[in-house]
Amino acid sequence: MLKCLKIYAGAAQNAMTTMNTLLLEAANGKQVTKEEALSFFERDVEELFYAASKMRKKFKGNKIKICSIINAKSGQCLEDCKFCAQSAHHKTDASVYPLVSNEKIEEVSNKALENAGCFGIVSSGNSLTDEEIDRLCELLKKHKKSDHFGASIGYLSDANLKKLKEAGLKKLHHNLETSEAFFPQICSTHTYKERKDNIKRAKALGYEICSGGLFGIGETLQDRVDLAFTLKELGADSVPMNFLMPVKGTALENAKPLKPIEILKTIAVFRIILQTSDIMICGGREINLRDLQSMIFFAGANGTMSGGYLTAWGRNPADDKQMIKDLELEIDPHR
């Protein structure tokens, strides 16, 4: 019996040492495999915090990025993403309006850029019309801070990507949402490949790529790891991580919320896999993490969205700035 216990204790000790070594190596910049990344979910959150914080400091220093968005065109999207309040396939209370005026975007962006380093123009729907793209180009050419702008405006032809780039747009956002294997379970009206192709063409034209996902939609841990590896392969410069805020009337209105510690572990695993990318915590931070939201930075995030989301309110930017200050981190005036 004693011999058995000693063997068991020895095996457990070996497993601990192996895993700690893996995390330590990852924290020092070693690329991890999918299997290793998956096994990190079984570690204590403190261990993950150690590795992820070390990586954040190594690659990002003490600087925290803040971004902000405008929902520039809302609702009546013909796509059927199960989680989305703006899909015409769902009956929700989300606002419906066409592309807002350039004056409105200018007004909101000027205010937002007092606190944020990056301002995203987001529109619902598969794509914008050529006329709408021309309108955005006019705005970008005129705006003094257009190099702080990003756009999340669906699929774009090469011609429109080039036009927007010439007008001053630097960053293109297009989420993958989840893994390739799980994607058909959340959307049937377009393919993962179409999303990836849009990102690849923008990357080839020199755009900074902002692409991430949504968690808590029924995906497995393997789906999360697969998503992170796909984003790495695509060279995502910035990775927004959103956590489902179930909306009444959508197909996921009754989805069970993720636990805060699981969210923090997911953030840490993304930092460990994606190493140098910006890890930005966006939709669902306040509702899902509650009092633990400041811990996103210990989990390796180096940025967050502040001031509101597409169809839900967020926190007052002043509170987010205070939280960052209290953590003795600095706000990055990035673009």
In the chain, which residue ranges form alpha helices assigned H by DSSP? 2-27, 34-40, 45-60, 102-112, 130-142, 158-167, 183-186, 192-204, 221-234, 260-274, 285-289, 317-326
Measured distance CA(144)–CA(106) in Å, rounded: 10
Comparing CB distances to ligand SF4, the nearer of 81 and 301 is 81
- Please tell me whether residue 84 binds ligand SF4 under the rule CB under 6 A: yes
Closest approach of Cβ 88 to ligand SF4, in Å?
8
**Residue that is written with structure tokens 């995203």 in the block:** 120
Question: Comparing C-alpha atoms, which of 218, 124, 240 is closest to residue 171?
Answer: 240
Closest approach of Cβ 310 to ligand SF4, in Å?
8
Helices (H) and strands (E) in the chain, counts: 12, 10
First to last CA, the chain: 63
- Please tell me whether residue 71 binds ligand SF4 under the rule CB under 6 A: no
Site string for ligand SF4, 90-129 (x = CB under 6 A): ----------------------------------x-----
Closest approach of Cβ 15 to ligand SF4, in Å?
41
- Please tell me whether residue 87 binds ligand SF4 under the rule CB under 6 A: yes
Any residues with CB less than 8 A from the CB of 228 and at least 6 apart, and which? 37, 239, 269, 270, 273, 274
- Please tell me whether residue 81 binds ligand SF4 under the rule CB under 6 A: yes
- Please tell me whether residue 275 binds ligand SF4 under the rule CB under 6 A: no
Comparing CB distances to ligand SF4, the nearer of 110 and 188 is 188
DSSP-derived 3-state class of residue 246? coil
Max CA distance (Å), the chain: 79
Site string for ligand SF4, 123-142 (x = CB under 6 A): -x------------------
Closest approach of Cβ 299 to ligand SF4, in Å?
25
Number of residues near ligand SF4 (by CB under 6 A) = 7
Closest approach of Cβ 142 to ligand SF4, in Å?
27
Of the residues 68, 86, 277, 302, which one makes contact with ligand SF4 according to CB under 6 A: 86
CA distances from 19 to 22, 46, 49 (A): 5, 13, 14
Q: Which stretch binds ligand SF4 (CB under 6 A): 21-29, 75-83, 106-114, 251-259?
A: 75-83
Interface with ligand SF4 (CB under 6 A): 77, 79, 81, 84, 86-87, 124
